[in-house]
Amino acid sequence: MASATRQSLTAAKAAIKPLLAKADIKFAEEIFGIGAAVASSTQLRSILSDPSAEAKAKSGALNAVFGKNVSATALDFATTLVGFRWSTGQDLVSAFEQVAVYAVAAISAENKKLANVESELFAFKQAVDSDQDLQFALGDRNATDEAKIALVEALTKGKVSEEASVLIRRAVTGARRRRVALVLEQFGKQVSAFADRLVATVTVAAPMSDAQLGRLETVLAKSYGQSLKLNVEVDPAILGGIKVQVAGEILDGSLASRLTAAKLQLA
C-alpha cells in the first residue's frame, strides 16, 4: 500500500468516527454499496480517484449516481472520502470496503457483539473452506449476486447476528476475483483490529479444552504484547501437536511437520 493511500485511509477512519455514535447498520451497508458501485464502474472510479479532478466534479458525480439512493450522511462521508488522495482507483475501492467494515465493527462494539461477530465470521469461513460445492457456488462468476445472497441467507438465517450477516453478504458479493474465504478472513482481522486484538489461527489434531485454550492465549498474548482472538481449526492431518499462525508468523509444532523434518534428515 502506497504512502498516500495509508495516510488517506487513516484520515478516512478519523473522519467516520464522529458519525458512528448515531450510525446504524444501514449506514454501513450504504458505504459498502457505494464502494461496490465504484468498483463496478471504470469511469466513476477514474473520476473519483483522480487527484487532479476538482472537488466539485467529484461531488457532482457522487450526487448524480447516489443522491437519491443513500442517506445524506453516507453521501457526505463518501464526498469526504473521495476528497483524500488515493494512489489508484482500486485503493479507493478498498478504502470504501475497509471503512464499511470499520463501521460494522464499531456498531458491533456498541451493541456488545464484537466477539460474537468475530466468531461468526470465522465459523462461516470454516464452512466455506470445508465444502467445495459451497466454494464453487459462492465464487461462481456466472451466478447473480441475488442468487448468492439467497444461498447465504438460507445458510445463516437465525444463526448469526445482523452485523455478521452484513459482512458475510458483502464478502460474497464484493469478492472481486478474491476467494470468498480470504475476504472473510480479512474482514475478521479488521474487526479484531478494531478491538485492538491480533488474530491467531490455531490448528490442532483434536479439540482443545477451554483451560488449554486459555493457557495458550495467555502465553501468546504475553509473547506478542497484545490481546489475541484465537480461531481454532481441527485438522487430523497434523497428527498431533499444534500449529499457530499469528502476525505473519507460523509456529509449527505439529507432529506431521516433525516427522517430515525427520525424514529429510534421514534422506
Angle between helices 114-129 and 89-110 (to 10 degrees): 130
The pLDDT confidence band at residue 237, using thresholds 50, 70 and 90, is confident
- Per DSSP, helices labelled H in 51-199 are 55-66, 72-82, 89-110, 114-129, 132-139, 145-156, 162-173, 180-194
Cβ neighbour number for residue 27 with a 10 Å cutoff: 22
Q: Are 229 and 217 in contact, with CB atoms under 8 Å apart?
A: no
pLDDT at 264 over 70: no
Distance CA 52, CA 211 (A): 57
Q: Specify the range with the lowest mean pLDDT, choosing from 155-169, 180-194, 251-265.
A: 251-265
Helix (H) or strand (E) holding 10: helix 3-20
For residue 165, pLDDT over 80 is answered with: yes
What DSSP character marks residue 208?
P
**pLDDT band per the 50, 70, 90 thresholds, residue 238:** confident
Tell me the domain boundaries of the chain: 3-194, 198-266
- Please state the rounded mean pLDDT for residues 227-234: 88
Residue 157 has pLDDT above 80, yes or no: yes
Q: Return the closest-CA partner of residue 32 out of 121, 133, 103.
A: 103
Q: How far is CA 64 from CA 44, 94, 222, in A?
A: 11, 22, 52
Which among 84, 12, 1 is positioned nearest to 50, based on CA atoms? 84
Question: What does DSSP assign to residue 177?
Answer: T
Please list the helix, strand and coil fractions of the chain in percent, rounded to the nearest 5, in that order. Answer: 65, 10, 25
Per-residue confidence at 139, pLDDT binned at 50, 70, 90? very high
Predicted local confidence at residue 127, as pLDDT: 94
Q: Is the dihedral of CA 233, 238, 244, 249 positive or negative?
A: negative
Residue 252 CB neighbour total at 10 angstroms = 17
Residue 198 main-chain phi, psi, to 5 deg: -80, 160
Q: How confident is the model at residue 240 (pLDDT cuts 50, 70, 90)?
A: confident
- The single-letter DSSP state of residue 23 is -
pLDDT tens digits for 92-132? 999 999 999 999 999 999 999 999 999 999 999 999 999 99
pLDDT at 263: 62
- pLDDT at 35 exceeding the cut of 70: yes
pLDDT at site 192: 92
Label residue 1 by pLDDT band (50, 70, 90).
low
What is the chain's mean pLDDT, rounded? 91
CA distance 191 to 239: 32
Averaged pLDDT for residues 73-87? 96
How many whole angstroms separate alpha carbon 198 and alpha carbon 246? 7
Model pLDDT, residue 261: 67
